[in-house]
Structure 1
Amino acid sequence: MTIELVEESSTLTPAPLLELTTGFWRFKTLAAAVELGLFATLSRRGTADTAEIAADLGLLPRPVRGLLSSCVALGLLDRRDGRYRNSELAERFLVPGRPHYFGGFVEYSDKHAYPAWHRLQEALRDDRPTTWDSGAQATPFVTTDPAILAGFWEAMFTISAFTADALADAYDFTAHTRLLDVGGGTGPFPVGLCRRYPHLRATVLDLPHITRMTRQRMVDLGMSDVVAAHDGDFLADPELPAGHDVILLSMILHDWGPDTGRELLAKCHAALPPGGAVIICELVLDDDESGPAPAALMGLNMLVETRAGFNYTYAEYRDWLLGAGFVDVRSVPLAAAGANAAIVARRP
């Protein structure tokens, strides 16, 4: 018997596969630290040693040592002279009560999305979401813990607020006066855009249980006279509210199938005056579907989370927009966690 030796590249190793395989280690470390209250504890104390942290969190020496060293390695904690403090990243985004608290999304992902991703193969075989029973429920939020949902909405505000800043830098809203944010949640885009462009006024269109939160948010921010909320269902309502010269669809179209996307863009076209613009903010997939990774993976997340959603390519969005009657379609690159592009088109 002869064994054939295959010459292999001396530089190729399984290290990238190891990093992919153990990626959940990082997430679960973060999720555990958030749930245990590590960052809240250190924010309150300022600095603490291992024994103090262990006492506060109710942990034994070996587990707390592993948690702390891992959090330092991940850039979540700083360690100096045997004492720990929150890194700038953790202090800003992982301490409850801070304006841009992100821990709610960590908890939502850990309790809601992470278990569903364990069933990804099932979603791939059946083409049905695994985060909720789409045969028995109207929406995925029926059985989701309201407290976890509240944290999710807070984190979505943070992600979208930073994406809004990126959009304000990349696209000039000077020519527009009235913005309609379709499915705008608690209003992060209108808040950011109206602050950057003081002449701009905005309306958030969303379901009544969302707009109640929107109105309260605007009161809290002192922007009730700038950003209004309109109760509605952009899927079921025959038309969108009129009187706006720019319509924003941010992280909306990826929740639905192509037919729904085309129908919604047709409603946008009908609601806009001549010269009005529609803006689609999304993690847009490359036309050859080779990436970028966040957009591609979001497509799989839509498989797990929705009945028909997906992350689409620029070519697909362009085709939908032209089919709805829009012209001058262009893509504006964005550098943001929530979107890598704003696709802009005009009603002739």
Structure 2
Amino acid sequence: MLTAQITEPESDGYPIILPTMILPSITKTFEMLNDLRQNPTTDPALLLRYRDRQYAAEMLAVAIGKLNLFTWIDARGSVATESIQQHFSLARRPLDVLLTLCRAGGWIRTESDRHELTALGREHLVDHSPWFLGPYYAPIVDSPIAQGCLQVLQHDRPANWQASEDGNDWHASMMDEAFAKGFTDLMNCRGTAMGQVLADKTGSFLADCKHILDVGGGSGIYSSTLVAKHDHLRATVLEQAPVDRLTRDEIVRHGLQDRIDVVQGNMFTDPWPAVADCILLSNVLHDWDVPEIRTLIQKTAAALPSGGRVIIHEAFLDDDKSGPLPVAEYSVLLVNITRGKCYCPAEYGEILADSGFDVGPYQDTIADRGFITAIKR
């Protein structure tokens, strides 16, 4: 037989009497919601940078030891992107990532699409300089990660996802439930802090919204933090199998199953639920090249009413692609394991404008991340 006791919470000033067996689960739910509502007091940027930059050294090693890129540029004074692409037979997307890394690192400068070495690059990255550092990078120039960097530069194919034995890239690997679980946990652990700050910074933008569609929402952590902090919001997460099952479990763990739905579907090939007045694209677009991004933005426009809103939450480059260095390094990771890279607000803004959106300014959040907003005309 269940015993009962008087406990919190109170409703209209009267205490609620609850069975003691139910109390632990309700208390745990309140604790989970409170965790989602509290911002961290510190910025974990440096801790994430150690992980996010792990491919950057090998990309530089390839540029020095395999391409001898800096010596070649120095011999010509300045060169256009197309000349680099043609001479070395490099693909457009990864070359853009490499040149962005070189600008952010301070080794080249770019003006009107012509690239020349800085003093730092000329002294330390040109093979006939007395201060040439090429031998310092020689031990890693043939490492598996460096080989992957060279592969993606030459063939525009993502290298293997770290220890993946079947040769699949990240997108194909996500169809495996065990891999999907590990990767979703990886994204979820950083998403709690990022989502809480995003929820705070977008509060006024979301004030008149009622329902968020979280496209490719992974564990649903960003929907969960937004809904937990803004009581007027509901959310729907669109995710493909098998991730959608993991998403449901996470939402139940947060006690938000009454306010967040999960719909299984492929964001490219399946129709999007017609429920939202705001669409969230959080850490989604950077996985794709420009044609796929255009497709997703067009689907965003089609799913929203006039006045509907969109939030793009990412790690953004500066509009001139000269930094920030941590984001340029992270872009090297992305180009090796996905079909995308990091983009700048201007690149997204152009695509949004073409699809009928008025675009707002970029805003920082936490951990080298930020967001832009747009409203459908």
| TM-score in terms of structure 1 length | 0.62
Residue type at the aligned position of 2:366:
A
The counterpart of 1:280, out of the listed 294, 298, 312, is 312
Q: Which residue of 2 aligns with 1:155?
A: 186
Contact 1:278 1:346 in 2 (8 A): yes
Q: Which residue of 2 aligns with 1:265?
A: 297
1:319 aligns with 2:350: yes
Task: Give unmatched runs, 5+ long, in structure 1.
Answer: 1-22, 28-113
Distance in 1, Cα, partners of 2:171 & 2:145: 12
Give how far 1:332 is off: 3.8
Deviations 1:257-293 (A, max 9, x none): 1111111111111111111101100111111111112
Q: Which residue of 2 aligns with 1:130?
A: 159
Q: Which residue of 1 aligns with 2:363?
A: 333
Contact 1:331 1:341 in 2 (8 A): no
1:301 aligns with 2:333: yes
Q: Secondary structure at the match of 1:303?
A: helix
Deviations 1:65-104 (A, max 9, x none): xxxxxxxxxxxxxxxxxxxxxxxxxxxxxxxxxxxxxxxx
Deviations 1:147-204 (A, max 9, x none): 5643331121121221111111211222111000000011001110111001100000
Give how far 1:319 is off: 0.2
Distance in 1, Cα, partners of 2:286 & 2:350: 15
Consecutive aligned runs of 4 or more in structure 1 exceeding 4 Å deviation: 135-141, 143-149
Distance in 1, Cα, partners of 2:228 & 2:248: 17
Give how far 1:126 is off: 2.5
1:206 aligns with 2:239: yes
Give how far 1:121 is off: 2.6
Residue type at the aligned position of 1:305:
I
Q: Which residue of 1 aligns with 2:276?
A: 244
Distance in 1, Cα, partners of 2:361 & 2:189: 24
Residue type at the aligned position of 1:333:
Q
Q: Which residue of 1 aligns with 2:27?
A: none
1:194 aligns with 2:223: no
Distance in 2, Cα, partners of 1:149 & 1:243: 27
Distance in 2, Cα, partners of 1:161 & 1:331: 24
Alignment of 1:73-92 (within 5 A): none
Distance in 2, Cα, partners of 1:317 & 1:191: 25
Distance in 1, Cα, partners of 2:148 & 2:295: 31
Give how far 1:211 is off: 0.9
Distance 1:286 1:312, change over 3 A: same
Report the identity percentage. 36
User: How many pairs align?
Assistant: 234
Residue type at the aligned position of 1:312:
Y
RMSD between aligned residues: 2.7
Give how far 1:213 is off: 0.9
Distance in 1, Cα, partners of 2:341 & 2:266: 20
Q: Which has the higher contact order (CA 8 A, sep 6+)?
A: 2
Distance 1:254 1:117, change over 3 A: farther
Task: Give unmatched runs, 5+ long, in structure 2.
Answer: 1-49, 55-142
Q: Secondary structure at the match of 1:119?
A: helix
Contact 1:255 1:302 in 2 (8 A): yes
Residue type at the aligned position of 1:341:
G
Residue type at the aligned position of 2:191:
S
Contact 1:117 1:304 in 2 (8 A): no
Alignment of 1:87-166 (within 5 A): 116=145, 119-131=148-160, 137=168, 140-142=171-173, 147=178, 149-166=180-197
Residue type at the aligned position of 2:234:
R
Q: Secondary structure at the match of 2:269?
A: coil
Residue type at the aligned position of 2:318:
D
Q: Secondary structure at the match of 2:360?
A: strand
Q: Which residue of 2 aligns with 1:39?
A: none
Distance in 1, Cα, partners of 2:263 & 2:175: 25
Residue type at the aligned position of 2:317:
L
Residue type at the aligned position of 1:340:
R
| TM-score in terms of structure 2 length | 0.57
Distance in 1, Cα, partners of 2:250 & 2:144: 31
Alignment of 1:18-33 (within 5 A): none
